[in-house]
Structure 1
Amino acid sequence: MTCTTKHLKILIFLFIVLVTVKAAAQTNVSFPLRLSDNKRYLVDSNNKPFLIKEFSAWGLIQALSENDEAAFLDSLKQKGFNTVLTSVVSNAPSQMGGNPPYWLGVSPFNVKWDFSTPSETYFQHVDRFFSMAEQKGFFVMALPVYLGYRTDPSQGWWDEIKSSPNDTLKMRKYGEFIGKRYKNARNIMWVAGGDNNADGDMLAYEMNLIRGVKSFDTNHLWSGHFDMNLGVIWSTDHPVLAKMMDIDGLYVWNEAIIMERGPQYKTELAQYNKGKMIIQLDQSYEHDNPHYADNENHQWIRRKMYDGLLDGCKGTSFSSGEIDNYNYSFKNWKPLMSTTGMKQVSYCFSLFDSRAWEKLVPDQTNDVILSGRGMFGELDYVCAAKASDNSSYIMYIPKGNRTIYLNMQQMTGKPMRMHWFNPRTGTSLRIGVAETRPKFGVTPPSEEDWVLVFDDHELKLPTPGSK
């Protein structure tokens, strides 16, 4: 064998090893997922906790070519996302890119608006998307069909579902088709609704769909995305479908609409106390129209995300955007991978990934934070959580114009190393070690929002936010 041939074989071998290692690094999660023993969060097949870091991408399956889908997921992966929320079939021409409901000119149904006639070509594409997402380590929160706003026929499928080519029995057949086809998919869960409670004459269609899926597929978890404008902000708020919800998802894109149940952290704590796994299912569409503070003010985006993860939510969500360019439209998605919101959400993911987030329990007492916390029910209230093994205690401070006094004896009873974590830049500043004093004061470095991280000094945990 010549030297050149030997070198070539070595290079080929090294290339194969590199590709294998890269593929393993891409997945780093062993599907399928299931609820943890305490029903509070998800774990993979190796019992590794899985924090849902979801990007709302409604038209992803329909709007992009498969090469673009792969590039999109790769971009999300780089920012720390591991989950996408999307619809198996999309039909919102005023919002989605491409030509919905068609994927590259292929209709999801062989007969227009007849849900009992699924197109094999279209659903082979769906098959490939689910498989590709699994290979890249993505969990898919999939709606079998996005119903859309009850008052806007241009959004979603509710009016097409009720048109003459379709009926409730055909919806049952579509559900059976979906359940049978994807019962063994390893990386998906199902989401009911879609900005719609499916009430009134729509209920029979949605119930038949869900029952059809469940008749073949008993493997997958369910959540629900309903009509917050009618007060159904949690999946389990639904008067009929609540009992079918395995994961309780919060859908609020306008915090003011919660009324007396808000601000958002207030309803999250109340829901956490009911004992079911809770997540922020679909929130914070950066620069979305109408331009409420929830989506226009990056501090509000940060506040809701950090508060949620400290209030018992074991999953959060985001969708990036620019003025007149939103990521759910997929008309020009590449610039939206590096917006201010994307960067700051990535910092949040890094912080919680660097700590035992699955052990965090909301601190709903006044035993640790003695003063400076703010009034419960106001936007500047300090949300906090303590790890069940006393390894960490984390606080999100919405406004830094205060001194906060803490009882370190009640925190963990151990000396705690302290860091300021800047949610705007992702950087950490080590303060020192707090001894077990009954009263200890801290003042944030500036009047902006900050995260204060306490860690058991003996554990020598990595710097908050580091890999």
Structure 2
Amino acid sequence: MLVTLLLASRPANADPVYPLTVGPTGRYLVDQNGTPFLMAGESPQSMIGNLSLDEASVFFADRVSHGFNTVLIDLLCAAYTGCRGDGTTLDGIAPFLATLGDPTPNGTTAWDLTTPNPAYFARADAIVQLAAQYGLLVLFDPIETGSWLEVLQVNGTARARAFGQFVGDRYRSQPNIVWFHGNDYGPPHADLSQANDDLVTAVALGIRDVDASHLHTVLFNTNTNLPPVLSTDDTRWLPIIGLNAVYTYQAATKPYSPPPLGRRASLRMRSSGL
């Protein structure tokens, strides 16, 4: 009943028609009607792990009432983004059904990414669908790297790509998504090596194996003096991304030449949220 009452006050014609795509100039996003879309976002990254559906509805209603149209949400959440080290929800639902050994050095459970728990992903589905009912775009991080890069290292590229395929297939028909990879991905938080990039891009490529309709981006360093800063600074990501992200405004004002590999709009982050 709470969800119904909160949704009843929203005009249906106010919502963008998702999925988003890059506009004709390559410098902004548009919806399926060609209407420009300017992100005004909030960063409830730990929502799937820490909120009930009723609590999520209250949050979404509040953000929409203040003019926000975008939320950044982690599909998997552990200690780095404010959840528990085992990645369980607040009411104890684990994201996977099997592990591959002891916890990783950062304390995250070494889950086998090829054993998704249906109950956990049903919870995630409900959150994303609820956001859609409020007209919100979800910047959806399939496996944020702050906690989960070490889990990817345990799993290897084949399991990482299989997980991407699972996630991509599950959400291919959910229109209000832009895939958002990384998360403070780079020094000092992470070693941006070829081996690590192979793992993180494997998830993105797995999604693209089954889902060609959603844009992708990746967020690298919080320190604008330590490259990579822009998503396009790492050439391994150029065939994947359609949206260029940067953590904060300073880097976005620096002159740079976008690579001639298709159109990319730009997404700018700041430390207090999106």
Residues 235 and 250, structure 1, Cα contact 8 Å, conserved in 2? yes
1:81 counterpart = 2:68: yes
User: Any idea what SS the aligned residue of 2:9 has?
Assistant: helix
Partner residue in 2 for 1:125: 123
Q: Distance in 2 between matches of 1:26 and 1:68?
A: 25
AA aligned to 2:143 is V
State the Cα deviation string for residues 221-260 of structure 1 (Å, max 9, x = none): 01111134441111101131133220111113xx7xxxxx
Q: Distance in 2 between matches of 1:55 and 1:117?
A: 31
Q: Distance in 2 between matches of 1:175 and 1:277?
A: 23
Q: Distance in 2 between matches of 1:233 and 1:214?
A: 23
Give TM-score, length-normalised by structure 1. 0.49
Partner residue in 1 for 2:176: 187
Distance 1:25 1:100, change over 3 A: farther
Q: 2:42 aligns with which of 27, 36, 55?
A: 55
1:101 counterpart = 2:87: yes
Say what the alpha-carbon RMSD is for the aligned residues.
2.7
1:173 counterpart = 2:162: yes
State the Cα deviation string for residues 341-370 of structure 1 (Å, max 9, x = none): xxxxxxxxxxxxxxxxxxxxxxxxxxxxxx
Partner residue in 1 for 2:189: none
| Aligned ranges 1:420-431 → 2 under 5 Å | none
What is the Cα deviation at residue 97 of structure 1? 4.6
1:30 counterpart = 2:17: yes
What is the Cα deviation at residue 22 of structure 1? 2.7
**Higher strand proportion (structure 1 or 2):** 1
Partner residue in 1 for 2:26: 39
Which segments of 5 or more consecutive residues in structure 2 lack a partner in the other structure?
Answer: 100-110, 187-191
Q: 2:151 aligns with which of 160, 165, 168?
A: 160
Distance 1:265 1:213, change over 3 A: closer
Percent pairwise identity: 27
Partner residue in 2 for 1:139: 137
What is the Cα deviation at residue 212 of structure 1? 1.1
Q: 2:239 aligns with which of 240, 243, 254?
A: 243
AA aligned to 1:180 is D
Residues 271 and 278, structure 1, Cα contact 8 Å, conserved in 2? no
Residues 85 and 140, structure 1, Cα contact 8 Å, conserved in 2? yes
Partner residue in 1 for 2:106: none
Partner residue in 2 for 1:339: none
Q: Distance in 2 between matches of 1:52 and 1:279?
A: 8
Q: Distance in 2 between matches of 1:129 and 1:19?
A: 15
For structure 1, which segment, 76-85 or 36-45, has the greater mean C-alpha deviation from structure 2 after superposition? 36-45
Partner residue in 1 for 2:203: 209
Distance 1:121 1:279, change over 3 A: same
Partner residue in 2 for 1:196: 185
Distance 1:45 1:21, change over 3 A: farther
1:278 counterpart = 2:266: yes
Which segments of 5 or more consecutive residues in structure 1 lack a partner in the other structure?
Answer: 1-15, 149-155, 256-262, 286-317, 320-467
Distance 1:20 1:177, change over 3 A: closer
Residues 58 and 86, structure 1, Cα contact 8 Å, conserved in 2? yes
Partner residue in 2 for 1:234: 230
Q: Compare CA radii of gyration and give the structure with the larger one.
A: 1
State the Cα deviation string for residues 400-421 of structure 1 (Å, max 9, x = none): xxxxxxxxxxxxxxxxxxxxxx
